[in-house]
Structure 1
Amino acid sequence: PQDLPVDIPESATQTILTIVATSMLTVATFALATMVTAFFGASQTTTPRVVRLISQDRAAQAPISIFIGAFMFSIVGIIALSSGFFTASGRLILFSVTLLVVILVVGALIRWISKISSIGQVGETIQRMELTTSAAFREIAERPLFGCRQSTRAADHGRPLHATRLGFVQNIETGRLQKVAETHDLFIHVVARPGAYVTAARPLVLVSGTIDEDAVNGIREAIVLGRERTFDHDPRFGLIVLNEIAARALSTGVNDPGTAINVIQTDVRILSEWFARMEQTHPEPGHDRVSMVAISPQDILDDAFRPIARDGAGTIEVCVKLFEALETIQVVAPDGFRAPVDRFAEELMERARAAMSHPADIEVVEQAASRVTGGGGAQQR
């Protein structure tokens, strides 16, 4: 339109764009430096394994993206104004959009300040780990064997097939394995679940039937290997990382049993939710030619509590909370966890007796142990 209610001078828009361009470059650089510092702090106060997780936080990445986008918008706007590209109506539109960008930047800056004040903190990191690990356990509850038949290691025999390189199993495409098995008339037993480290001594699968090169390549391509463990299909890794946080908190230099207790309670919530979902879901195996071993209850308990039991055996508060956790698991867990819980409780009581010197402390721990072992742990002297 030729008759505009407002004629925005070119200098006004260019001044605002120049301010935005100058400030956004500084703010984006500062935000990136602050985030890197927060990641380093998180690796020092918790464990380096959490950096990959918190660095994927979209709430932290989005403001930086807005800052960089505002900087690029301002540069392009300044170039277009300087070249005389805009008419009066174009300058009005550019001025309006510039104001919207300024408002968007202010909102992003407020969110960034709120986010950066908590990112990397121990409590916030434990909460993120709980959400991530719970999501992995929900997947395992719905597909505990990834659609395969359940089997034991002793029940399946066949030719061991190894990976061409060392690494951690990150994902298994069981549907692809089923197709390979059907095509070549094979039965495949998956030995290495996600999270397993495969070497020349640890095969990927055991194959029954006549296997050729095409089948070997198809099986290997269906199993994704990587240099590091991931959280997505490997819930045990989440428990391990949580325990690394607790172990650091219990170290002599930190001496923070409260964080260890927080991790214990987090582990109990994660496992309790998993047990509840296991009771609600009854998945049917979809791949009749592929079998897999279920997660061992003993491995779950070891991943969740053994490092804390080892490092916190001399701390009465930690021991009592561990026995309370075992008591809860004994009540809500499936039958397969009963014997491992009893063994773990007896081992924990032995550790506590070896680490504690005051009879009153030992007596308190024995009382907590008796609620798990039915008095057996407390009677052993």
Structure 2
Amino acid sequence: MKSFFIKIKSFFHTIEDNIAFYPALLSFIGFNFAMLMLFLEDEGISAFVIEHVPELVINNADTAKTLLSFLTGGIISIMVFSFSMVMVLLNQASSNFSPRVLPGLISKRNHQYVLGMYLATILYNTFTLVGIDPLENDKYQLPGFSVLIGIILTVLCFFAFLYFIHSISQSIQVNSILKSIYTKARNRLVMLVDKEREKAPSFPDTSDWKEYGSKETGYLQTFAAANLINICEEHDIQIKILPIPGGFVLKEIPIVKISKEIEDDLVEEILSNFNFAEGEIVDDNYALAFKQISEIGIKAMSPGINDPGTAINTIDYLTELFAIRLQKHDDTIITNDDKSLIFVNTVNFSELLYQVMVSYRTYCKHDMTCVQKLFLMIKYLLLQRTSNDNYHNSLIDEAKHLYDDAKANIGNEEDRRRIEQLYKSLPNKRD
């Protein structure tokens, strides 16, 4: 039963990033609330309200139908406008920054809540209209209280629309996008660092272990670690997860290695704990943040945009993320009671740093402001505490690559002198 609930939780975490999830959920709530109010109207709630606060209740059927129809039409208009603004947001973000940031923008909770509120109110007003009989002249039989609730919900939708306009205008700004990506990655990294012990646990050699292929194709986002731990303990096995989380996995390509040969039913149970998606989610894989932030910086340096300021901002965010990554071990090993059970392949620091730096060296090596910022980033990171001394060696190697590229592409003597000073000022620089 515990395994079932863990899978449900993991599934919910996957689908809640869909732009239609919360609007659909709130629409369902709006429909059920309308049904509840129709039931309460049959129980005489409007008559009770009229007797105590008659000023709040509309007692004319034609007025109630006209008012609700007018308000519902207005909500539909602002909802269409809101959806249009979302499309504009996504188009501009894709053109000016990177298509990879779209999943993060789509999954913003506040926008989903506003769109869901529109749909819920439309459904509520529609079914309230159904409950109004235009031939009924008895004011106590009119759903006056339900109409009042519909008016209040509509007014709240108008305020939500104003908030939506403000929020979406902020969301399109590059600083807001960078901050959002950085925050998600930082939270994920801090959580992983906190889970690790000062000394990384060991894991046995897996060269002779049995491999098992994936049953699906897609991006490996997450896996139900608690379920896999229970399986390992119950069947006395150890598991090595071969793909790097966030990487694309093809069907039948080996996805796990297991310490001993097991039956097909157990293989199916193990593989069912892996969640695949068609997009990239930073919340589940911090390495994607380095890719997305660096792509925004590189896009800013393209001739069509030519915005070195944005590129420098991306380097600032990357500096902080790299500083946290220095505290994490390259190997991720999941243990239970000091016993190593699951080995998870992750991008090692050297490779992560190289992939980021090679992009900036390729597109920013001619820009002195970006080169200076990259040297300052490396200098700062060399002064930070690390979980592995080899991390500093990787930083020094990348500094040498940056120095060589910058000297080869910047011709001004003063600029070259400054580059020389920056390179020589790096702490613990190897000869």
Range class of TM-score, shorter chain = 0.7 to 0.9
Structure 1 counterpart SS, 2:81: helix
Match of 1:290 in 2: 342
Q: Does 1:341 align with 2:391?
A: no
Aligned to 2:211: 160
Question: What is the CA–CA distance in structure 1 between the aligned matches of 2:372 and 2:357, rounded to whole Å?
Answer: 13
Alpha-carbon distance between aligned partners in 1 of 2:258 and 2:64, rounded to the nearest angstrom: 70
* Contact 1:356/1:362 (<8 A) preserved: yes
Distance in 2 separating the partners of 1:87 and 1:329: 77
Distance between the aligned counterparts of 1:268 and 1:239, measured in 2?
10
Separation in structure 2 between the aligned mates of residue 373 and residue 156 of structure 1, nearest angstrom: 39
Is the 8 Å Cα contact of residues 169 and 229 (structure 1) preserved in structure 2? no
For residue 345 of structure 1, report the CA deviation from its aligned partner: 0.6
CA separation in 2, counterparts of 1:8 and 1:294?
64
Take 1:263 and 1:353, find their aligned partners in 2: how far apart are those partners? 23
Distance 1:22 1:86, change over 3 A: farther
Q: How many residues align?
A: 371
Opposite residue 207 of structure 1, the aligned amino acid is: I
Partners of 1:79 and 1:221 in 2: how far apart? 46
Which amino acid in structure 2 is aligned with residue 340 of structure 1? Answer: S
Distance 1:76 1:235, change over 3 A: same
Whether the aligned pair in 1 keeps the contact of 2:206 and 2:257 (CA below 8 Å) is no
Contact 1:158–1:207 (CA under 8 A) maintained in structure 2: yes
Asked if the contact 2:240–2:344 (Cα under 8 Å) also holds between the matched residues in 1, the reply is yes
Aligned mates of 1:56, 1:190 — CA distance in 2: 28
Aligned-residue sequence identity (percent) comes to: 17
Corresponding residue for 2:410? 356
- Partner of 2:105 in structure 1? 54
Query: Does residue 108 of the first structure (1) align with residue 160 of the second (2)?
Result: yes
User: For residue 72 of structure 2, what is the aligned residue in structure 1?
Assistant: 21
Distance in structure 2 (CA, Å) of the matches to 1:224 and 1:91: 47
Tell me how far apart the structure 2 counterparts of residues 74 and 22 of structure 1 sit (CA, whole Å): 10
Give the CA deviation at 1:253: 1.7
Could you tell me how far apart the structure 1 residues matched to 2:406 and 2:391 are? 22
**1:75-154 matched pairs, under 5 angstroms:** 75-83=126-134, 88-89=139-140, 90-143=142-195, 149-151=201-203
Unaligned residue ranges in structure 2 (runs of 5+): 1-47
In the alignment, the residues of structure 2 paired with residue 270 and residue 374 of structure 1 have an alpha-carbon distance, to the nearest angstrom, of: 22
User: Does the C-alpha gap of structure 1 residues 87 and 366 become closer, same or farther in structure 2, counting only changes over 3 Å?
Assistant: farther
Instruction: Please give the root-mean-square deviation of Cα atoms over the aligned residues, in Å.
Output: 3.1
Question: Amino acid of the residue matched to residue 305 of structure 1?
Answer: M
Matches of residues 174-213 of structure 1 in structure 2 within 5 Å? 174-199=225-250, 203-213=254-264
What is the CA–CA distance in structure 2 between the aligned matches of 1:17 and 1:25, rounded to whole Å?
Answer: 12
TM-score w.r.t. the length of structure 2 is 0.76
Residues 373 and 253 of structure 1: is their aligned pair in 2 closer, same or farther, counting only changes over 3 Å? farther
Task: List per-residue Cα deviations over 1:84-121 (Å, max 9, x = no partner).
Answer: 57953555424532442243122112201211212223
Unaligned runs of 5+ in 1: none
Partner of 1:324: 376
- CA separation in 2, counterparts of 1:101 and 1:67? 9
Give the secondary-structure state (helix, strand or coil) at the position aligned to 2:302. coil
Q: Name which of 50, 58, 81 aligns with 1:8.
A: 58
8 Å CA contact 2:117–2:157 kept in 1: the answer is: yes
TM-score by length of 1: 0.85
Deviations 1:22-56 (A, max 9, x none): 21111111111111111111111111111111011
> How far apart are residue 302 of structure 1 and its match?
2.7
Measure how far apart 1:166 and its partner are. 4.3
Comparing 11-20 with 329-338, which one deviates more in the overlay? 11-20
